[in-house]
Copies of this chain bind each other. A is one copy, B any other.
């Protein structure tokens, strides 16, 4: 990645010191493994991908189980295009249906069907159990606070920088 004993010149940029590096590698592994563990758990126990689960979850949190496509895209961190393809598949499986949105004929509402709600109700406990077992069971209150605070700061930093959009 860019260790101190790396073949790459150490003075070519603001290098990571060994301490930062080991922290960064630990974070990298954690993010990767945790993510894929959650994916596998959902896929295996409920035949849902992570994003599919969240689509159902986000819809279920509305009283009318309905969300505009654009808004759903935002809360699930997906592009509108990706969501459109995704909803098409969920629709075919009977978990969601689309209907024109009253009031603005450009918009489409995604609506959670009864079958979709049942699916979520079945999937949710296993998901929660996995999160608790993998993440929180061995985490102290103090550590939890630090993790949350750091996560929020990094997220804010990422969003502030335009790294995910444009030039440096």
Residues of B within 8 A of A158 (CB): 30, 33-34, 37, 134
CA distance in complex: A86, B151 (Å)? 31
Q: Are B152 and A134 within 8 A (Cβ)? A: no
- A106 close to chain B: CB less than 8 A: no
Chain A interface main SS type: helix
- A92 close to chain B: CB less than 8 A: no
Size range of the chain A interface in the assembly: 35 or more
Give the copy number: 2
CA distance in complex: A120, B32 (Å)? 22
- A31 close to chain B: CB less than 8 A: yes
Q: Are B167 and A44 within 8 A (Cβ)? A: yes
Q: Are B33 and A144 within 8 A (Cβ)? A: no
- A88 close to chain B: CB less than 8 A: no
Please give the residue numbers on chain A whose beta carbons come within 8 Å of chain B beta carbons, in ascending order: 1-3, 6-9, 12-16, 19-20, 22-24, 26-27, 29-38, 40-41, 44-45, 54, 57, 60-61, 77, 117, 120-121, 124-139, 143-144, 146-155, 157-159, 161, 163-165, 167-168
